[in-house]
A and B are shown apart, each in its own frame.
Chain A
């Protein structure tokens, strides 16, 4: 455990055991390779906090609260990128974009953040062969 000064949350405790390696970063932030998940005040709402860029954090939600039976549709090769096997414990988060008017908020269902918690590896993939889109509105 060590302390890190973040841009958004001030000083936080980082548990090395809970750092996930993103070998390709995430889209638009390819140089950021290590992330942790910070809990928020509410279940299903999280911050994906970069460890190598303390200023970088993205609000995310568990997509299940928005899309019933949310389906991650990836090829075996894509799952192999983060060494997923039948015993892997998986975490799936979707990035939320929150404009000034929060009723315009959208969640990116086509490009989930997928984490193999067992192998401590993660990636963001823009899925193919899916009907989800980039800007799914949180409010009608």
Chain B
């Protein structure tokens, strides 16, 4: 993985037409601007992970959920 150190307002080019801008930077959070062509799909990783996990949850066995209820020692 390429790791770069950037500060606020710095930019990174990916290829010819994707521009990443560091909009703001706090202690625990970075605000990033992304300019990309319309055909480049930009997603937060959590969104794709949630799609994947929703699909997996829909396939979860009911027996597993029953077992889980018994195992988790809370109401």
A residues within 8 Å of B by Cβ?
Answer: 8-9, 26-29, 40-45, 47, 56-59, 65, 95-100, 102-103, 105-106, 108, 110-111, 124, 126, 128-129, 133-135, 138-139
Contacts and interface: CB of A to CB of B under 8 A. Distances in A.
Contacts of A135: 49, 53
Given A28-B50, A58-B54, A97-B56, 8 more contacts: A28-B51, A42-B75, A58-B57, A59-B60, A99-B64, A102-B64, A105-B68, A110-B50
Interface residues on chain B, size class: 20 to 34
Contacts, number: 97
Contacts of A42: 69, 75
A56 B74 CA distance: 27
A108 B55 CA distance: 12
Contacts of A106: 53
A126 B46 contact: yes
Interface of B: 29, 44, 46-47, 49-58, 60-62, 64-69, 71-72, 74-75
| Residue of B47, B54, B64, B75 most packed against chain A (CB within 10 A) | B54
A97 B52 CA distance: 10
Nearest to A139: B71
A106 B51 CA distance: 14
A40 B66 CA distance: 8
6 smallest CB-CB distances across A and B, nearest first, come from A98-B64, A28-B51, A98-B60, A134-B49, A111-B50, A42-B69
